[in-house]
Structure 1
Amino acid sequence: MTRADGRGGAARDLPVLAVVYGRGAATPLGILDTARGRCTVVFLGDLGDPLVAADLAPVSRSTRVVDTHGLTEGQLCALVVGLEPDGVVTFSDSSLRATAVVAKACGLPFHEPYTADVLVDKFRQREALASAGVQSTACRLIRSAGDLAPALAATGLPAVIKPRAGCSSTDTCRVDSAEELAARYEEFTEGVAEPRAYVLEEYLVGDPSAVGDFWGDYVSVESVTREGDTRTAGVTGKLPTAYPFRETGLFVPAELPEDLVEQVVRLERRALRALGVREGVTHTEIKFTPEGPRVIEVNGRIGGGISDIMKRSSGVDLLAHAVEAALGAFDPPEPVLGLDGPDRRVAFQYLVSPPSDACVPGGVELLDDLYDIPGVDLVDVAVDPGWRADWRAGTEWMLGTVYGSAPGFAELRITLKAVQDRMGAFWSEVEGRQRPARRSRTDPAG
């Protein structure tokens, strides 16, 4: 289809993709690189948010950026309908609901509004999974301090408190007593005029014997769905989390026996059906427990870092699949479930995150010798002298990423163990420091 270029310029033949932008799993430059030759991108973002504005500033001279600050849902729909896009997509949890409503108004494929709601609402997601018979996980809403005791009576101890809508493990931790729960809730809501809702849910006890002590006791399943046809793109392995649930690393493919791969994929498919997922890319976290694999949560977008490691491992471009699916195309990805394909390697990201809040980073020069480790390709770390750890910010508070790959899992373990050992000299403990001030975030829900 040929149409105006969106700036009043010459006509073009490439389809138009409207990207509702918020902080998430794909950068503007990464999206534009993927879109090259496939489509013309129009970004829609709240430029009243300084983080969104900073992200979109580098692309605004060559790509149309539309400010959505202050727009109602209806105004946003009218604006996007006027663009006559061929596809609508987002890579941000905070934008899922708005994107679903916009896509429906345009008659374009994306999550249905109901599905978007349950994907971002941890309480409703647990309800939907239980109602469909997929998994019953004790979960209760917390709107005020008065809800704490009844919620704890339902979940038992240990339990996990987290925002009802949030991401990156922000304000998320395990609690082992009623006193600790009350203290954490007070900390999360201190000084907030209108505290957001939280959920308290039963703690899923891990089973490290499923994958071995060196690896994390959970994985994620990446899938692409078009018109209800779900295809697995891969299963991502994880490193053990840092306190309390900060992600420390991920790799593709996961080191799992075939029967365990089948179990987690089967569970993920049941979860997607229960939540009504019929379009788009999903990222489903699953934990290994003594009772078998159990769903941690389903996310309605690409997982952070997943597209990079999948592409470096096997050449599968998950971001490209997301863009093409949004435009109505469906070329199912070749699943990355092992190392049996040509030229496949185990690609990893090691996230530079402090082992505890008592730690401060050393100088960047202490990271230079990471390049001496076989398998390390890039050390992308920026150290601010004033930086201090804050476990409440979850994965958002990491300093950077170490990228690399290995020909097999034994070599991967050696590489990562060497990285972990050398990182021991990077962190030092500081006693008695004050808790850092909370930083503002793009996603008001998390």
Structure 2
Amino acid sequence: MGVSVVHSAAELPAAALLAQEQTHEFPHGIALDTTLLAQEYVGGDEYSVETVISRGDVHHLAVTEKFTTQGSSRAELGHTVPAELTDEVREAVLATAEQAIRALGLRNGIAHTEIKAGTDGTAKIIEIGARPPGDHIMRLLSEALGISEARAYLQTALGERPDVTPLRSGAAAIRFLTAPQAGTLRWIHDLPEGQGVTTSVYKMPGDEVGAPQDNIGRVGHVILCARSAREANEAALEVTGAVKVEVATSWR
């Protein structure tokens, strides 16, 4: 929320205004510090690593591929488990995540590490949290690989060996539905149906919706299962391309 990619000094005032408009955390309404923070931009493709740590042993469950908007914002549009990667990029992403986990001294629990990786085999940490992943990624893990991260987390907390063995080799994807612009939702057309597809809608006709510049602007999501990451991504592109979100600037 309130994050902008800035390319020149001329773009700073608008970026500062957007950042300071975010006075309360969504959805719990917690007051936020409105101090501005500028960070170096890190390029590359976005991934996250889902990990269970038990007595210092690191078990990476999967690498998740992340899809975002481009331009001045980086709203997340979806995730796919597991990510389709070259061996070089996968090794770099997993090694970087493990280095971060060990540097923080995490010994028991789980970690969600967000990373940007380049095609040259470099990987940089964006964020690491000793917490479950959001956006239904744990469900994607279960659907794609048959792994329950929640169960492994509880087993670790109880001092038991976590069950992290994949039960199958598939893929699952989630894609978020967004409005083309801010306004009043009129209708969502052509929602997908069928075996292996789950659709959820957050907004109803008449609700106000935001532009797709952050993760709050979502109006729903679609979850799909497939045999491979490539098939999941192709199916997700097809179904989301068919969905039309109709928005009016004023409700009539």
Under TM normalisation by the shorter chain, which class is it?
0.7 to 0.9
2:159 to 328, 334, 344: 328
Specify every segment of 5 or more residues in structure 2 that has no aligned partner in the other structure, as ranges: 24-30
Specify every segment of 5 or more residues in structure 1 that has no aligned partner in the other structure, as ranges: 1-169, 207-216, 337-341, 434-446
Q: What secondary structure does 2:58 align onto? A: strand
The structure showing larger relative contact order (alpha-carbon pairs under 8 Å, at least 6 residues apart) is 2
The residue number in structure 1 matching 2:208 is: 387
Indicate if the aligned counterparts of 1:222 and 1:283 stay in contact, CA closer than 8 A: yes
1:205 to 23, 26, 43: 43
Bigger fraction of residues in strand: 2
Deviation at 1:428, TM superposition (A): 5.1
Tell me the matched-pair count: 239
Residues 241 and 320 of structure 1: is their aligned pair in 2 closer, same or farther, counting only changes over 3 Å? farther
Indicate if the aligned counterparts of 2:84 and 2:229 stay in contact, CA closer than 8 A: yes
Is 1:426 matched up with 2:245? Answer: yes
For 1:417 and 1:359, the matched residues in 2 are separated by 25
Deviation at 1:300, TM superposition (A): 1.6
Q: Which amino acid aligns with 2:51?
A: S
1:264-279 map, 5 Å: 264-279=93-108
Q: What secondary structure does 1:301 align onto? A: coil
The structure whose Rg is larger is 1
Indicate if the aligned counterparts of 1:231 and 1:332 stay in contact, CA closer than 8 A: no
Q: What secondary structure does 1:237 align onto? A: strand
Residues 265-290 of structure 1, C-alpha deviations (whole Å, 9 max, x = no match): 00111111222222211111111236
Indicate if the aligned counterparts of 2:182 and 2:208 stay in contact, CA closer than 8 A: no
Q: What secondary structure does 2:43 align onto? A: coil
Deviation at 1:202, TM superposition (A): 0.8
Q: What secondary structure does 1:176 align onto? A: coil
The residue number in structure 2 matching 1:351 is: 176
Indicate if the aligned counterparts of 1:346 and 1:405 stay in contact, CA closer than 8 A: yes
Residues 363 and 427 of structure 1: is their aligned pair in 2 closer, same or farther, counting only changes over 3 Å? closer
Residues 374-421 of structure 1, C-alpha deviations (whole Å, 9 max, x = no match): x651111132323221556x3233122111111223422331221232
Q: Which amino acid aligns with 1:253?
A: P
Q: Which amino acid aligns with 2:193?
A: Y
Deviation at 1:241, TM superposition (A): 3.1
Q: Which amino acid aligns with 1:406?
A: A
Indicate if the aligned counterparts of 1:354 and 1:360 stay in contact, CA closer than 8 A: no
The residue number in structure 2 matching 1:5 is: none
Residues 2-28 of structure 1, C-alpha deviations (whole Å, 9 max, x = no match): xxxxxxxxxxxxxxxxxxxxxxxxxxx
Is 1:367 matched up with 2:205? Answer: no
For 2:7 and 2:92, the matched residues in 1 are separated by 30
For 1:238 and 1:308, the matched residues in 2 are separated by 15
Residues 358 and 396 of structure 1: is their aligned pair in 2 closer, same or farther, counting only changes over 3 Å? closer
Residues 401 and 256 of structure 1: is their aligned pair in 2 closer, same or farther, counting only changes over 3 Å? same
The residue number in structure 1 matching 2:9 is: 178
Is 1:405 matched up with 2:228? Answer: no
Q: Which amino acid aligns with 2:11?
A: E
TM-score norm. by structure 1 comes to 0.49
For 1:308 and 1:272, the matched residues in 2 are separated by 23
Is 1:295 matched up with 2:125? Answer: yes
Deviation at 1:182, TM superposition (A): 2.7
Is 1:236 matched up with 2:64? Answer: yes
Deviation at 1:321, TM superposition (A): 1.1
Indicate if the aligned counterparts of 1:242 and 1:354 stay in contact, CA closer than 8 A: no
Residues 399 and 332 of structure 1: is their aligned pair in 2 closer, same or farther, counting only changes over 3 Å? same
Q: Which amino acid aligns with 1:205?
A: G
Is 1:218 matched up with 2:218? Answer: no
Residues 411 and 181 of structure 1: is their aligned pair in 2 closer, same or farther, counting only changes over 3 Å? same
Q: What secondary structure does 1:248 align onto? A: strand
The residue number in structure 2 matching 1:189 is: 20
Indicate if the aligned counterparts of 1:314 and 1:345 stay in contact, CA closer than 8 A: yes
Q: What secondary structure does 1:184 align onto? A: helix
The residue number in structure 2 matching 1:415 is: 235
